[in-house]
Every structure is written in C-alpha cells, then in structure tokens.
Amino acid sequence: MKTKFMFIVTFAILTITNLFANQNNCPPKDECECAPCGCETPPCPTLSAYNQSARINVCGSWDVFVTGSLIYWEPYDQGLRLGSFHNAIAGVTRSERLDMKSGFKAGFKAGIGYNLNYDNWTAYIEYTRFHPTINFSKDRPSWALAFTSQWPSTLALLPNTITSKWKIKYDLLDLELSRYEYRGTKLIFNPFFGIKGGWLDQSFTFTEINATSNVQSVVKSDSWLIGPRAGIYSKWLLGCDFSIIGKAAGSLLYQKVSNLNSTIKDPSSEITAKANNTHNITPFAELLLGLNWGSYFDNNHWHFDIFAGYELQYIWNQNYLSSTIDGSATDISNLNFHGLNITARLDF
C-alpha cells in the first residue's frame, strides 16, 4: 500500500511539473525595443586606480572629438637688433640701442581626434596657424649725431627715422597617440608621442629714412621642419567640473632653411645676395598651463570642454635673418611664441 501511495505522489508531482514547464510565465516582449535615453557618466575611481582609462566616454558616441583654439601670442627673437644712435662719431658718451619691438597677434589652432578601441588609446591631429606682422618705428633723438646699423646699408647720411617690419608664417601639424589614465582619484596623466612637422617662413624689412634718400634692406628665409615629438598632459580635478590642465612636450626636428637672401635698395641701386641652403637639428619645447571646465550634457550624449591658459613655444636657432646674411653675429638666436590660449573641445 505504501509503495502504491509513493507511486501516485511521484506521478502527480511529475505531471504538475510538466504542466508548469509548458506554460510561458514571462511577459511578452515588444518586437522592437527602444534604445535607452542615456547612460551613466563614467565615475571617478574611489581608490587610486593607476592606469585605469580616464578618457571622455559619451553615450552612443562616434568616438570622435573636435577642438578649436584662439591663440593670442607675442613672437620674440632677442637677436633682431636694429642698430644704435650715438651722440658723436668718435668719443661717444651717450648711446641708445634699438631692438625690434614685438606685440601680441591673433592666430588659431584646429584639431580632430578619434578614440581607438585598442586599449583606450586616442589619436589626434592638430594644425596651428600663426601669421603675425610686426611693425616698429623710431625717430632719431635730438641729441643723436650718428647711427650704427646692424643691417647692410648704403646710406652715408644720418637717418631721421628708422622703421622695420617682421613677418612670420608659422604653419605646423602635430600628430599624436595618447592614453588618458588615472594616477590617483583626482589626478589624470595623458602621456603621448607622435610627429611634428610644418613650415616656418620669415621676412624682415629694415628702412632708414632721410630727408634726401631712403635705404631699405629686405631679408628672407623659408624653412620646413619634421621630427619626433613626445610629452605629457596632466589634469588635476578640482570639483564642480573644474580642473587645472598642464602640458609639457619636446621635439627634435630636422630643419632645412632655403631661399635665404637679402636685398638692399636705395634710389640709385639695388644689391641682392643669396646664401646657401642650411640643414640642422632643431630642439623645440612646449609648455601649457591653465584652467579647464568640462561637462556631459543631453543625457551624456555629448561632452563639452572650455580651457583658458598660458602657452609657450620655444624654438632654438632661428635667427638666420641677421646672423647668416650679415655675418657679424656668431650666435643664431632663438625664437619663441608665448601668450593666451583659449580652447574649446566637443566630444560626440
């Protein structure tokens, strides 16, 4: 009897289980599910997480970002000396040296980047255009009875006015590969390496103006550069979407200087001289420091950054204008650009 009872119970359990198994207890699904309206902002680590990716990651993105910068720089070359006024031809007791005065001029940068799938690396290319024209003028002081020019001149008379014009065409491309990573809970490093290349052309016009005649010296040089570049960005998170950003980078560039020539013009003659092409290895340094604000918006489908800071670019051995043509200078002075950098970035 007991065996029969156990058989009936077992049969009943198996039958009920089979009936429930054949039922569809899950709610029906729509044929097409809508995509979520947004996604969560990538959180900062709560513990020091070395090498954890820290790049911007918007929801449903193309993994592309674009940048645009307004630069307001002052070019400076300490070797652009014009000459000196003296109070006598011999037995000088008073002198005033004239150097080329510079000023701040506007330019721009434009860039585009792509976030790679490989280990959270980022590729970025940026173009810099800076084409300033600097003008300078100086009248002869009333006490000056002589002038010594640093530039080739045929004027035997004392100039009443000295003028100069310095034109620069600076067009450079930077291609870099980088990886944003946390070095703490509030500190991000972005080491990068790549290639820098482009063109740097200069011309300088020096004019001595007298009541009876004028003499004008025009010196030009064209060059192109290319070489390896490496550096690091750093980002210190302050809170409320603000951060301090810094950059330090260096390049070692091969440079070819060509079309190096000078022309001296006066009312009765014109003298032209041309120097041979020059090749050299040029060190190049970059520094950047400023304040940044950035935030996700539109349900984290976009991210926008705005940055303002100070930038310095320093290029060694660039004053071929005076040192090569004149031949009087033994040192080729350095060229630098420094000033304001305002940059906007959009990730999408």
Per residue of the chain (348 residues), what is the pLDDT tens digit?
445 444 544 454 445 445 444 444 444 545 444 444 556 666 666 665 678 889 998 988 799 999 999 999 999 997 888 999 999 888 888 999 999 999 999 999 999 999 999 999 999 999 999 999 999 999 999 999 999 888 876 667 789 999 999 999 999 999 999 999 999 889 999 999 999 999 999 999 999 998 888 889 899 999 999 999 999 999 999 999 999 999 999 999 999 999 888 888 887 788 888 888 889 999 999 999 999 999 999 989 999 999 999 999 999 999 887 665 555 444 678 999 999 999 999 999
pLDDT at position 183:
92
| Architecture of the 63-347 domain | Beta Barrel (2.40)
Tokens 């002198």 belong to 95
Spatial separation of the C-alpha atoms in residues 255 and 258, rounded to whole Å: 10
Tell me the domain boundaries of the chain.
63-347
**Length of the chain (residues):** 348
Tokens 């190096």 belong to 260
pLDDT at position 35:
43
pLDDT at position 174:
99
Q: Cβ–Cβ contacts within 10 Å for residue 189, how many?
A: 18
Listed in sequence order, the residues at least 6 apart from 309 whose beta carbon sits closer than 8 Å to its beta carbon are: 245, 288, 289, 290, 291, 340, 341
